[in-house]
Amino acid sequence: MFEYLRDPTVLLSTIIFFPAAAALLLCVIPGRHAALIKLTALAATVAVCAASLIPACAAGGNPVSFSLHDGGFQQVVKLAWIPSFNIEYYLGLDGISYPLVLLTTFLSVLALAASWKIEKAVKAYCVLFLLLETGMLGVFMALDFFLFYVFWEVMLLPMYFLIGIWGGPRREYAGIKFFLFTLVGGVLMLIAMLMLYFAGDLTRLSPEQLIASHIAPETAEAVASVHTTGPLHTFSLPALSEMGRLPNSPFAQRQWLGQSLEWWAFLLLFIGFAIKLPAVPVHTWLPDAHVEAPTPISMILAGVLLKMGGYGIVRICYPICPGAAYDLAWFVCGLGVLSMVYGAFAAMAQTDFKRLVAYSSVSHMGYVLLGLGAWSAVAGTQYSTAGWQMGVTGAMFQMIAHGISSAGMFFLVGVVYDRVHHRDLNQFGGLFQKMPAYSGLSMIIFFAALGLPGLCGFIGEFFVVIASWQYSAVMAVVAAGVVILTAGYILWTIQRVYLGPEYKGPHGDALGPLSLREWAIILPLVVLAVVLGVYPRAAIDVMSPSVKRHVEQLTDWTKTRDQTASLSVSPSSSATTPDESGEKGVSRDDRRQWPPVVAVEPNSPLKTAVLHSLQKENDAPAEIGGRRP
Amino acid sequence: MSIYELMAGTLYDLWPQSLRAFAPELALCGAIVCVLLVRVVLPRLPVAVWYVAMAGAAAALWLILPDLTRTALGELSGGEIFTGMLIADGYATVLRAFFLAFALVFIAFVQASKLLDDDADATELSVLALSAVLGMCVMVSANHLLMVFLGIEMASVPCYVLAGILRRRRPGSEAALKYAVYGAAASGVMLYGISLFGGATGSLHLPTMAHRLAELLASPAAAGEATLLIVAGLMLAVGLAFKLSAFPFHYWAPDVFEGAPAEIGAFLSVASKAAALGLTMRLAVCLAGGGAEPSSLPMAAGVGEQIASRAASPAGSDGRERVMIDRERTAGGENAALEAHAGTDRPALHDRAWLQASLAPARKFLYSLLALLAAATCTLGNLAAYGQANIKRLLAYSTIAHAGYLLMPVCAAVVAVGNDPSAARSAVAAMLYYLMIYFFMNFGAFAVVAAVRQAGGDERIESLAGLGRRSPGVAVCFAAMLFSLVGIPPLAGFAAKFVIFGSLVRTDLYLLLAIGGLNTVVSLFYYLRVVRLMFLREADAGAKPLVVPVFSTAGAYIAAFAAPLLLFFVWWDGLLAWAEAAAMALV
């Protein structure tokens, strides 16, 4: 049986659909065997977690082993699904998605273990939970935009019911708010997806690009055959990103209301992902959903679902619409900084423990936005991928770290809520005396969220702040300043909850030590928080080849763009015909301006040192053309 | 033309071509007669009526299968039949097959849902349903405005009676009366529009009308005729909008749906709407410059010549040139004065490009009208549905909103006919595909309402509270139908909406697309309200327990409607390819 798992098609499909199959199996178990149902579901999540570890553990020669030296997609699965729209069942893993897949399968096991206290309609709960896991894993593995969208929306229904049925007192309100916000984002994404699909044209790609984006040979032949007859549309994300980076991208050519199609598509996609992330003006669903959701669902929500927003931005927004991303990078980063500051201040003002953690998520995901968004393709006077690569790595690391720390925090809140049945911060205090082990573990997780060096939260924030310096010193300073705010609310929380003379709130006698099950859930999170803080390379080594590839592609694009811009400025070059390759320059409209907030500062010693450490493998930097100093 | 020639031509046309293509409808007619007779032959066995009616629908379906297969393979060379009054092309074939299948499912469903206390009433219901379906088949294959009117009336009048099929229920009678009065008024207006159109263009034969219209618009006299044409077009639209329950002629729908039983609601909301849409699409595409070339018009002069040419090439491969000649002659046959006029100052043969270029103003008018109708219908339906307390009224407004969504591809097809036939084709296919999916999700929703009624529940939405606990299977199926109506994957409703939105993007109708997207979000509220009641609320303490077990006739029915929603999401390429093949005939 395990022989079959050597085939990527079987392995990846198993990882995605095993939970759904287990959910079907649960449907036939009579509802009165609650323990059996929970055990089956737990076994299913454990099996999926084990299966998702196969690529990491398999030996080098194995076809499904995950290589740390390949930045492209691995274990690619590609089967035709709906030929009339050229939709494919197209899956793959790379350094950006694989860590998130592992995070998802791992947190699913913990969250299901944390669901043991659920007693209402256990069967329905487990079925929905497993369907949710299928949706989450599908999102991270899909490389076809349509497939991605389907999985993205598939998560909606289980999540709605999980919040709406098993949630707190205002669960209906929170559920519908979550559904509504996500559906709005989904519809915007659908519109952008269709725009990109009909604007894209595979015949514009060179054979190398077609191979790079895994267009199957028969399609490549199809491209050759229809070269004269008309465009060939695709939903393939790699192919769309190749098209988006063409010197005269098909997405940049059409205009609508004074902006290019690419600009609109970027905006629609970005809003869709920002809702999920969530970034500040569209974050309001998050505190409600978190507060009302049962503890395990909060863990999944904070640990995995929020990451999809960041993943979408790095997988779809930036590679496919680089032109618009370049123009709007200040907007993306500005939103990130705003989320950080707003989230931190809002967290400080909360008296509900869960709400505080929810707002801390908003603040932490702001770092992700800043790290992904900062278009730091230029260091000093040279093109360099080092700084930006650090930013993206930082953002990716922050996602993993936040997945661990926020899931941990929600679980810790849940532990104490189970005992005293309230979450009012002002009624806590003195937990340290009653539950010393719990309090100690809590402090580690909370300090990890705070960004204490040596714990996982530090690396991401540090990388992001350093990298964004290149893009905008002001934003970097503000981002660094937010660390102080974070320390403020976390320390204040620790003081209000764990320190103090004695617990005076209700149900004080219920505060007993952690059960074995609770230990089993929190300990892996604590261990991971420490391990990733001490040895971040465990994650960074997996990410960096893909991050490097992502950043290099966009930096090359920037280079081409700047040269083009500089050529079109000088009158002699305006006659250049746009048929040569990007290096020669193509006359494009001079509409794009350098982002207004860019400030290139003299390198500080610390920054130089960090940059050097990352710059070893980079190509020889090119000269900058155009209007740069 | 001598009488002999006329008869010879008619006979020649009638037997090998027209009647064969019309065989499914003939079978339906036969079934209607049999259903009426079966009570006389078997008075002791009233239940036989159901099976006779089902057998009739099945026979008709069987007769249309060969044409359906040929449509799917792209081999159907269906042309005009009955001297150009009807057309039996792939588009009509697919829609007719849809209605026949619908009739079969509908009759089986009504029997299973035990709507009628007494099987003795089955005769009326079967006859009415079958004759309405007959009218719908005529509607979608109409190639002449007279047949359009005839088809609409044949489909509508039985529907008026069906709305009041439960004679002892006052709300049903009220609904029937309202429906009939509104319907009669709309038909009158439409008939007036048809006569104005006929007067202005000199013909009621659709392709000929398109040519006459093009000539009118190209000639300097166009300005004078513009008002007349616009008024005629609007009047025509009134009749269609009534059938479609499109804004502002939707007022009948909530009242009728509330008064009529759920089964009849399913009939009106799916079949009746599909027929009206099929007709609207054909009219709009034809007048926009698409549509089939008139292929055989033996009423025109030169029948003998035609017979000769057919004898020479029995396969009928002499299509194109003869078509052109015929058209000119037909026109002449219908309006000698125009023929004389045309013969002098324009080239003898028009090509498609000329036609489409001249019809640009008509396209613009059609597009604006349809876009406005679509946007207003969709928005109004969704907003009004929110406030409803009765599940049938809610579904009525939901069908109004879906009429809006379904009008969007019509709009896209009209826009694309002029410059991008393949986009127009995919818009037509999008509409057909949406209709097929709509059948499952909307019929299914009404089936649930009927099942809840049989289980002793009432029609208030609140009575569904707690259904998720007591009848989880049925509640999950109902939720799947409602989410499919919203358009959320992994359900077929999403694929259908995706295809429609795709056709809008392809024709650059971004404003309409934005309205459609916004409406999707708005519609979530009221569908989710029902779902929330079923799963998130408990029933009132005093309420009667409402149980619809999955393992029962009703449960099986509901599951049979829900399962395709998942199936056709995973596998929608085949269905879509079929729709594309059907659309080939139209554009």
Examine the domain organization and report whether B346 and B417 are in the same domain.
no
Q: Which residues of B touch A176 (CB under 8 A)?
A: 525, 528, 532
Query: Average pLDDT, stretch B211-219?
Result: 85
Distance (Å) from the C-alpha of residue B578 to the closest C-alpha of chain A? 11
The answer on pLDDT for A197 being more than 50 is yes
Which of B537, B389, B394, B526 is closest to B465 using CA atoms? Answer: B537
Q: Phi and psi dihedrals of B203, rounded to 5?
A: -160, 155
pLDDT on residue B342: 41
Using CB atoms, pick whichever of B488, B506, B576 lies closest to residue A198. Answer: B506
The answer on pLDDT for A582 being more than 70 is no
Amino acid at B419: N
Q: Which of A177, A191, A251 to mutate to test the interface with B (most CBs of B within 10 A)?
A: A191
Would the CB atoms of A164 and B535 count as touching at under 8 Å?
yes
Would the CB atoms of B536 and A153 count as touching at under 8 Å?
no
Would the CB atoms of B510 and A256 count as touching at under 8 Å?
yes
Examine the domain organization and report whether B449 and B338 are in the same domain.
no
Q: If 0-12 CB within 10 Å is exposed, 13-18 middle and 19+ buried, where does residue B47 land?
A: exposed
- B182 touches A at CB < 8 Å: no
Examine the domain organization and report whether B442 and B338 are in the same domain.
no
What are the residues facing A424 on neighbouring strands? Answer: A352
Tokens matching residue A189: 């994404």
pLDDT tens digits along A224-278:
665 556 778 889 999 999 888 888 888 887 777 788 888 999 999 999 999 998 8
Examine the domain organization and report whether B344 and B483 are in the same domain.
no
pLDDT tens digits along A119-152:
888 999 999 999 999 999 999 999 999 999 999 9
- A229 touches B at CB < 8 Å: no
Examine the domain organization and report whether B436 and B547 are in the same domain.
yes
Domain extent listing, chain A? 1-154
Examine the domain organization and report whether B455 and B332 are in the same domain.
no
Using CB atoms, pick whichever of A154, A183, A195 lies closest to residue B521. Answer: A183
pLDDT tens digits along B105-116:
999 999 888 887
Query: Average pLDDT, stretch B168-173?
Result: 84
B517 close to A191: Cβ distance less than 8 angstroms: yes
DSSP letter assigned to residue A427? G
pLDDT on residue A615: 47
Examine the domain organization and report whether B332 and B441 are in the same domain.
no
Percent of chain A with pLDDT over 70: 87
Q: Phi and psi dihedrals of B142, rounded to 5?
A: -70, 140
**CA-nearest residue of chain A to B535?**
A165
Average pLDDT of chain A to the nearest whole number: 84
Examine the domain organization and report whether B342 and B379 are in the same domain.
no
The reply to whether B575 falls in a domain is: yes
Using CB atoms, pick whichever of A176, A179, A191 lies closest to residue B517. Answer: A191
pLDDT tens digits along B282-308:
999 988 887 655 443 434 333 334 444
pLDDT on residue A512: 82
The answer on pLDDT for B340 being more than 70 is no
- A47 touches B at CB < 8 Å: no
Q: If 0-12 CB within 10 Å is exposed, 13-18 middle and 19+ buried, where does residue A216 land?
A: middle
The answer on pLDDT for A586 being more than 80 is no
Q: Which residues of A touch B469 (CB under 8 A)?
A: 121
Q: Which residues of A touch B513 (CB under 8 A)?
A: 191, 194
- A446 touches B at CB < 8 Å: no
Q: Give the residue numbers spanning the domain of B493.
A: 370-587
Would the CB atoms of A188 and B517 count as touching at under 8 Å?
yes
CA separation for the pair A176, B527 (Å, rounded): 11
Tokens matching residue B143: 């190639």
**CA-nearest residue of chain B to A198?**
B506
CA separation for the pair A270, B546 (Å, rounded): 46
> Number of structural domains, chain B?
2
Would the CB atoms of A187 and B510 count as touching at under 8 Å?
no
Using CB atoms, pick whichever of B502, B518, B580 lies closest to residue A194. Answer: B502
The reply to whether B397 falls in a domain is: yes
Within 13 Å and on the Cβ side, how many CA atoms surround B196? 19
Tokens matching residue A85: 């729209």
Would the CB atoms of A176 and B532 count as touching at under 8 Å?
yes
Would the CB atoms of A157 and B580 count as touching at under 8 Å?
no
The answer on pLDDT for A516 being more than 70 is yes
pLDDT tens digits along B135-155:
999 999 999 999 999 999 999
The reply to whether B544 falls in a domain is: yes
pLDDT on residue A152: 94
pLDDT on residue B56: 93
- B510 touches A at CB < 8 Å: yes
The answer on pLDDT for B331 being more than 50 is no
Query: Average pLDDT, stretch A318-329?
Result: 89
Selected residue with higher pLDDT from B78 and B163: B163
pLDDT tens digits along B61-108:
999 998 888 888 877 776 788 878 888 888 999 999 999 999 999 999
**CA-nearest residue of chain A to B473?**
A27
pLDDT on residue A223: 67
CA separation for the pair A148, B181 (Å, rounded): 50
pLDDT on residue A214: 77
Q: Which residues of A touch B532 (CB under 8 A)?
A: 164, 172, 175-176
Would the CB atoms of A124 and B572 count as touching at under 8 Å?
no
Q: Which residues of A touch B580 (CB under 8 A)?
A: 84
The answer on pLDDT for A499 being more than 90 is no
pLDDT tens digits along B121-132:
788 899 999 999
Here the ipTM equals 0.87
- A271 touches B at CB < 8 Å: no
The answer on pLDDT for B338 being more than 80 is no
The answer on pLDDT for A629 being more than 50 is no
| Residue carrying structure tokens 């969504």 | B405
pLDDT tens digits along A434-444:
888 899 999 99
The answer on pLDDT for A611 being more than 60 is no
- For A568, A581, B510, the CA distances from A584, given in Å and listed in that order, are 12, 6, 36
pLDDT on residue A569: 58
Examine the domain organization and report whether B556 and B452 are in the same domain.
yes
Examine the domain organization and report whether B341 and B442 are in the same domain.
no
- A187 touches B at CB < 8 Å: yes
Handedness of CA A559, A563, A568, A574 (dihedral sign): negative
pLDDT on residue A227: 56
Using CB atoms, pick whichever of B536, B577, B580 lies closest to residue A165. Answer: B536
Examine the domain organization and report whether B320 and B466 are in the same domain.
no
The reply to whether B50 falls in a domain is: no
Q: How confident is the model at residue B329 (pLDDT cuts 50, 70, 90)?
A: very low
The reply to whether B52 falls in a domain is: no
Selected residue with higher pLDDT from A531 and A580: A531
The reply to whether B402 falls in a domain is: yes
pLDDT tens digits along B353-375:
788 888 888 888 999 999 999 99
| Residue carrying structure tokens 């299966």 | A51
Residues shown for chain A: 629
pLDDT on residue A380: 63
pLDDT on residue A568: 66
Would the CB atoms of A82 and B576 count as touching at under 8 Å?
yes
CA separation for the pair B90, B77 (Å, rounded): 8
Using CB atoms, pick whichever of B489, B514, B535 lies closest to residue A153. Answer: B489
Contacts of B206 (CB under 8 A, 6+ apart): B142, B143, B144, B145, B282, B283, B286, B287, B291
Examine the domain organization and report whether B335 and B416 are in the same domain.
no
Q: How confident is the model at residue B545 (pLDDT cuts 50, 70, 90)?
A: low
Query: Average pLDDT, stretch B176-187?
Result: 92
Would the CB atoms of B573 and A82 count as touching at under 8 Å?
yes
Query: Average pLDDT, stretch A586-605?
Result: 40
The answer on pLDDT for B321 being more than 50 is no
pLDDT tens digits along A351-377:
899 999 999 999 999 999 999 888 876
Query: Average pLDDT, stretch B399-426?
Result: 91
R_g of chain A, CA atoms, integer Å: 24
CA separation for the pair A243, B211 (Å, rounded): 44
CA separation for the pair B521, B266 (Å, rounded): 24
The reply to whether B442 falls in a domain is: yes
Q: How confident is the model at residue B383 (pLDDT cuts 50, 70, 90)?
A: very high
Q: Which phi-psi region, left, alpha or beta, contains residue A623 (left: φ > 0; alpha: ψ -120 to 50)?
A: beta
CA separation for the pair B536, B197 (Å, rounded): 55
- A89 touches B at CB < 8 Å: no
Q: Which residues of B touch A83 (CB under 8 A)?
A: 573
The reply to whether B514 falls in a domain is: yes
pLDDT on residue A564: 80
Distance (Å) from the C-alpha of residue B570 to the closest C-alpha of chain A? 8
Q: How confident is the model at residue A292 (pLDDT cuts 50, 70, 90)?
A: very high
Q: How confident is the model at residue B212 (pLDDT cuts 50, 70, 90)?
A: confident
Q: How confident is the model at residue B347 (pLDDT cuts 50, 70, 90)?
A: very low
CA separation for the pair A127, A536 (Å, rounded): 35
Indicate yes or no: pTM above 0.80. Answer: yes
DSSP letter assigned to residue A93? E
Q: How confident is the model at residue A597 (pLDDT cuts 50, 70, 90)?
A: very low
Q: Which of B488, B518, B529 to mutate to test the interface with A (most CBs of A within 10 A)?
A: B488
**CA-nearest residue of chain A to B538?**
A165
Size of interface A-B (CB pairs under 8 A): 74
Write out A499-565 in H/E/C secondary structure.
CCCCCCCCCHHHCCCCCHHHHHHHHHHHHHHHHHHHCCHHHHHHHHHHHHHHHHHHHHHHHHHHHHH
